[in-house]
C-alpha cells in the first residue's frame, strides 16, 4: 500500500514540477488550454487513444510513422514527448520515422515556435532538421527525418501509423500497429489557408497527445494502487 501511494505522489508531483518549473509560460498556458479540450475528442479516436494508453503502461517508446517523416509525424513526436513531461512520465519517450528521408517542413517549426517551444535548426543537417525544447534549461528533442529505429528494444515499442493507408510499406509493416490517422496538411501549403491549417493540426495533436499521457498516468496509478 505504501509503495502504491508513493508512486501516485511521485507521478503527481512530477506533473506539477514539469508544468511550473520546466515549461515556458506560453507553452504551459497552451497545454493547460489543451487539457481543457479533452471533451472535444470524439468517441472513436478516444477509444484508440485509450488502447494506446493501455499498451503504454507496459511499453516505454511510442513511434509515429508514415511515408514521410516531415510534418504530422514530427508534430506527434514533439507533442507526445511534451505530454509525457507534462504528466511526469519521464521514463516514456516518443520518436517518429518514415519510409523516405526528407526535409522537415518549415511550417512545422513555425507553428511549434508560435506555441511556445524553443526551436532552432540542427547545424549542418542534411536534409534539415530542428532542435525543439520545452524551455531553455531542458533537454531538446531532435526532430529530423529518418527511416530506422536504431537500437530501440522493439519489444517495448508501440508503433502508430498516422497515414490514411491501413497497411503502410517499409519498416512499419513488421510491427503490430495502431492506426490513428491525421489528414495531411500538404494540400494547404503555399495557400492563404496554410497557417490556419497548421495551427488546427497542431492543436488537435496537442489535445490528443496530452490526453494519451493523462490516460497512461491514470492507468499506472490504478494499476499500482490495486497491486499494493
Determine the pLDDT at residue 1. 43
> Which residues of the chain are modeled with pLDDT < 50?
1-21, 169, 228
Q: Encode pLDDT of 132-161 as tens digits.
A: 999 887 777 888 888 887 777 878 999 999
Predicted pLDDT of residue 3: 44
Q: What is the mean pLDDT of the chain?
A: 86
Would you state the pLDDT for residue 4?
44
**Domains in the chain, start-ordered, CATH in brackets?**
2-227 (3.40.50.2300)
Q: Taking Cα atoms as reference points, which of 151, 153, 159 lies closest to residue 175? A: 159
pLDDT in tens, 86-115: 999 999 999 999 888 999 999 999 999 999
Amino acid at each position: 500500500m505504501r509503495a502504491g501511494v508513493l508512486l501516485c505522489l511521485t507521478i503527481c508531483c512530477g506533473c506539477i514540477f514539469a508544468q511550473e518549473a520546466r515549461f515556458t509560460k506560453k507553452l504551459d498556458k497552451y497545454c493547460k488550454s489543451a487539457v481543457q479540450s479533452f471533451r472535444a475528442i470524439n468517441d472513436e479516436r478516444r477509444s484508440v487513444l485509450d488502447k494506446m494508453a493501455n499498451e503504454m503502461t507496459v511499453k516505454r517508446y511510442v513511434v509515429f510513422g508514415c511515408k514521410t517523416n516531415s510534418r504530422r509525424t514530427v508534430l506527434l513526436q514533439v507533442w507526445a514527448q511534451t505530454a509525457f513531461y507534462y504528466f511526469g512520465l519521464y521514463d516514456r519517450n516518443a520518436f517518429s520515422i518514415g519510409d523516405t528521408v526528407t526535409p522537415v517542413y518549415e511550417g512545422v517549426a513555425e507553428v511549434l515556435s508560435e506555441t511556445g517551444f524553443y526551436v532552432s535548426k540542427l547545424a549542418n543537417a542534411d536534409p534539415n532538421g530542428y532542435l525543439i525544447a520545452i524551455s531553455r534549461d531542458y533537454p531538446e528533442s531532435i526532430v529530423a527525418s529518418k527511416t530506422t529505429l536504431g537500437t530501440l528494444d522493439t519489444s517495448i515499442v508501440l508503433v502508430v501509423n498516422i497515414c490514411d493507408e491501413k497497411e503502410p510499406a517499409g519498416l512499419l509493416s513488421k510491427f503490430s500497429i495502431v492506426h490513428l490517422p491525421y489528414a495531411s496538411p500538404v494540400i494547404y501549403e503555399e495557400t492563404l489557408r496554410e497557417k490556419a491549417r497548421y495551427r488546427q493540426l497542431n492543436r488537435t495533436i496537442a489535445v490528443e497527445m496530452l490526453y494519451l499521457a493523462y490516460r497512461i498516468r491514470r492507468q499506472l496509478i490504478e494499476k499500482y494502487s490495486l497491486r499494493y
